[in-house]
Amino acid sequence: MVKRLIFALSLIFNLNYTHAQIVVDKGGDDWAIKVDSALAIIKKTSPIHWKTVEESCNQISMWNGKVSTTQPGKGSEKGTIVISRNDFKFNSINNIAAVIVHESKHLWISRNGLVYNSTNLEEADCYLWELEFLQLIPDVEPWLIQHVFNQYIGNSSQNKKGRE
């Protein structure tokens, strides 16, 4: 009787645990391994950024488009992060982690019903979130911080031009 109870409880726990996991689609070039490594970096580096990823994303996929993007869930459902093949060409797990952090912020914004006055303002906010994350990674690539900083400044200044 006790063995059956323990078995039943472990089965329920395992099923709930697997449904709570982020599904990483399988693909070529070991990209799923790279995504899993990037998720581990986020989880280890910043609990607050990890929480945003967990609360907003239930799947990570890849596509051949030029830029990474998201597919928001309906209503309050979690969404999908779609990483561009171009983001893998940098051969940087930190870059993949930064993309996931950035795109999860977009999903979080959508899921929580926040509306910005411009898409540039939302982009700037997501780049700032990404920059905060990158600064927590020991020995992060300087070019990566510079790139994200430039994107933040570019989107911030485009928003200011729109108000003038």
Tens of pLDDT, residue by residue over 68-114, are 999 999 878 999 999 999 999 999 999 999 999 999 999 999 999 99
2 is a domain residue:
no
1 is a domain residue:
no
146 is a domain residue:
yes
80 is a domain residue:
yes
Q: Which domain holds residue 71?
A: 23-163
Q: Is the pLDDT of residue 67 over 80?
A: yes
pLDDT at 158: 74
10 is a domain residue:
no
Q: How far apart are CA 164 and CA 150, in angstroms?
A: 21
Q: How far apart are CA 126 and CA 72, in angstroms?
A: 15
How many domains in the chain?
1
- Give the count of alpha carbons within 13 A of 161, CB side only: 7
Q: Is the pLDDT of residue 118 over 70?
A: yes
40 is a domain residue:
yes
15 is a domain residue:
no
pTM score, two decimals? 0.84
Phi, psi for 69 (deg, rounded to 5) = -155, -170
